[in-house]
Structure 1
Amino acid sequence: MTEQLTEEQIQTWAREAFQQANQFLAKEGVLFDTVVTEECRYLAPLVAVWKIKAMDSKMYWVVTGDLPTDFTLADNAEDARGALRYFSMRWQIKAENLLQNNDKGDASQTSYAQLLADRAEKIYLLQENERLWG
């Protein structure tokens, strides 16, 4: 059974998750401008979904947490819930492709595909949970 996080622990986790999102975007060549706070959602310590406006005025959804950090154009999802659904589908497809194209039996590729599939399933279940989005 997991312990309940304090408000301070939740805020610290959210800050770190946000920094992780910005660092990831920077590595991908996307420079942060502002965050659309009212559209972001997080469930510490599992997942955070950030809506970020870049310096080039493009909008992105970024997912961070206990899963691979990833991003997509905001046009691919209407809201944070939709972004989780989008990433879930994308990761399921990517995991399947990795497994099918792993001719050499690369253990790290297999492990990453399994991680993607597992997290895809978990975030799908989160976005399906009406209590979290009501």
Structure 2
Amino acid sequence: MSDNSQGVFDQWSKEQLDVAVNELINSNVFEKARIEARVVWGIKDQVILAQVRETSVGQGFRWLITGNSVPTDHIESSLAELPRDAARHFSLKWQLGAENVRNLPHDARKAMRHLDLGEMSKQLIRQAEALQELVSDESLW
């Protein structure tokens, strides 16, 4: 990557990471606002994977995924050793999530009738499949 390309990626990934970390703080995933986050893998304008942790907690961290082509999501670090493993885990998690949306009981569907559950499920599947394609591409890792 050229210096200019790297600079553009760094700026884009920092913006994505800042928004995602604030989302985690606002969702009470972290109790404290002193957060350390670092991008460990990414593709500009698509996706980044980061490690995020509370600075006061010590060594434990969460994997965070965010970007223009994926939902913001996070998992415990114990679920994946490497960034590629984390991406694979997110892909599987979203596929299972889509299946759960499709199989919601009638009462739950009725309570969420204001949402397009079919489209929500399809979108999760598209995102999971796109991420799985990235995971399968050896040249990206």
Q: TM-score range by the shorter chain?
A: 0.7 to 0.9
What RMSD in Å do the two structures reach over aligned CA positions? 2.0
Question: Which residue does the alignment assign to 2:52?
Answer: 52
The alignment's TM-score, normalised by the length of structure 2, stands at 0.79
Listed as ranges, the gaps of 5+ residues in structure 1 are: 1-5
Listed as ranges, the gaps of 5+ residues in structure 2 are: none
User: Which deviates more from structure 2 when the two are superposed, residues 105-114 or residues 9-18?
Assistant: 105-114
User: Which deviates more from structure 2 when the two are superposed, residues 22-31 or residues 83-92?
Assistant: 22-31
Q: Deviations over 1:97-130 (max 9, x none)?
A: 1011163474522222111111001111101110
What is the CA-CA distance between 1:12 and the residue it aligns to?
2.5
Are the equivalent residues in 2 in contact too, given 1:102–1:110 (CA < 8 A)?
no
Question: Which residue does the alignment assign to 2:134?
Answer: 126
Identical aligned residues as a percent? 24
Q: Which amino acid aligns with 2:57?
A: D
Question: Which residue does the alignment assign to 2:96?
Answer: 93
Question: Which residue does the alignment assign to 1:25?
Answer: 24
User: Which deviates more from structure 2 when the two are superposed, residues 89-98 or residues 54-63?
Assistant: 54-63
The alignment's TM-score, normalised by the length of structure 1, stands at 0.83
User: How many correspondences in the alignment?
Assistant: 126
Greater Rg, structure 1 or structure 2? 2
- Is 1:35 matched with 2:34? no
Q: Which amino acid aligns with 1:125?
A: E
